[in-house]
Amino acid sequence: MKLIMQDPWGIRGLGIYDYSLCDALYKKNKNLTLITNCYYEYGELSNFKVDKYFFKYSEKLKVGLFRNVIRGLEYCFNMLKLLKIYSKETPDIIHIQWLLFYQFDYFWLRILKYRLHQKNTKIILTAHNVLPHINGYKYKNILGKIYSQFDGIIVHSDVLKEQMNEIFSEKVNDCSICVIPLGTVTKLFEKIDKNVLNSYRRKINVSKNKGRNFLFVGVIHKNKGLNVLLEAWIKHINKYPKDKLYIIGKPNYNMNNELQTIEKYHSSIFSSLEYKSDEELLAYYFECDFVVLPYLEASQSEVLLTALSLGKPVIATKVGAIPEVINIIKGGYIVEPNDPKQLCLAINKASEISRDELIKWNEDIKYKTIKYFSWDKIAELTYNFYEELFYDCNPKSPILI
């Protein structure tokens, strides 16, 4: 089969996702092309073909209205260019990771299906989020139209499949929805500079407190629940003054209230609110004992799989697919979202684990994560779904065991 993987974003965390999935799929089918961002960072490592189309100019512009306009124009231009390419090359599978401008994307899909209607090309979407986390239901109608255009849809958990069927029951066929989880971040180690990583680890180690060190990491959106974590931390630190919280990531909203709290409790909270290199991010994961995900809303989380891949236990909220993954691995504590008291109790519990128990838990988490969420296993599930759709079988959701 001739496979096309299309991801216009394709950088930072999405870049390692694309590389990991395509690298594993390439072992099963050499006729694979990734069409992605002009600044995709894994080109030298990629054995498969990579075509860099998207966001050549806007990716480097300062965030703002001008960038959004240029980005929109670039996206539409390149998507129209792909229509011509797909019509000429007629791939067997077009697997789309993200659609970014829904109204345009719907008409683009309609045109694509019309142009390929005499072919057996199957068009698949990975719906990383069934609805956007912010004002999601605002987009329900247009997303319903979009989902109806796909031959198959991949979601990352049974919870998300249920959500898809519940919200879009009239637009999607249950048999065309396949549950395939996210994978580990082990491929990231092929790219990083280990000397730089170790240098960052030594620097962070000096600043660590004598108690437990907790990490909140990633781009900081409102739905990530940092305000809830800070409220819980204030209560926690009164009982465990030797513990420390690291807040690492670039904010995506006005954090004035959170910043005041961080400044007030600076002796137990360290923050670095900017984008980090892969080496520096991994250094924080390695040097901290627990990773906290106090999310108010989420479908799945790259932070979760990164932490578990490195053997780090997590404290996370009961949202989206996150509890499913934690329960499979037995990799942490699950609390209700937006509940500072319950979150504080979980952090307290984590602080009381002995160092020996924590080391044993680290090893167990890492082993199980690699076992259950390897990219080879995920590629096998994905490729089986391709074949079921392409050869007109009755696709069913595989069960990860």
pLDDT in tens, 269-286: 999 999 899 999 999 999
| Average pLDDT in the chain | 93
In the block, residue with structure tokens 């919280």 = 245
Q: Does domain 3-183+374-390 have CATH number 3.30.365.10?
A: no
What is the rounded distance in angstroms from the CA atom of residue 144 to the CA atom of residue 169? Answer: 9
d(CA 308, CA 376): 17
Please give the average per-residue pLDDT across 327-352, as a whole number: 97
Please give the share of the chain, as a percent, with pLDDT higher than 90.
82
Question: Mean pLDDT across the stretch 229-235?
Answer: 98
Burial class (CB in 10 A: 0-12, 13-18, 19+), 328: middle
Please, what is the Cα angle at 326 between 271 and 317, to 5 degrees? 55
Segments making up each domain of the chain, as ranges: 3-183+374-390, 190-372
Residue spans of beta strands (DSSP E) within 129-239: 152-155, 177-179, 213-217
pLDDT in tens, 54-111: 999 999 998 889 999 999 999 999 999 999 999 999 999 999 999 999 999 999 999 9
Please give the C-alpha separations between residue 154 and each of 98, 125, 159, 387, 397, in angstroms, as whole numbers. Answer: 12, 6, 12, 14, 9
Looking at residues 204-228, what average pLDDT do you find? 91
| Matching fold, domains 3-183+374-390 and 190-372 | yes
Q: What is the pTM of this model?
A: 0.89
Dihedral angle computed from the Cα positions of residues 136, 166, 224 and 146, in that order, rounded to the nearest 10 degrees: -40
Which residue shows structure tokens 């923050």? Answer: 271
Average pLDDT over residues 284-306: 94
Domain at 190-372: CATH code? 3.40.50.2000
Residues 6+ apart with CB under 8 A from 205: 287
**The tokens of 84 are what?**
């011509």
Cα(293)–Cα(284) distance, rounded to whole angstroms?
A: 15
Find the angle CA(79)-CA(85)-CA(89) to the nearest 5 degrees: 145
The average pLDDT across 133-144 equals 90
* Beta-bridge partners for 316: 293, 334
Which residues are CB-contacts of 173 (< 8 A; sequence separation ≥ 6)?
none
Q: Phi/psi at 211 (nearest 5 deg)?
A: -90, -145
Please tell me the predicted confidence (pLDDT) of residue 393: 55
| Average confidence (pLDDT) over 110-137 | 91
State yes or no: pLDDT of 397 exceeds 60: no
Q: What is the pLDDT, as a whole number, of residue 169?
A: 86
39 vs 21, 43, 99, CA distance in Å? Answer: 18, 9, 18
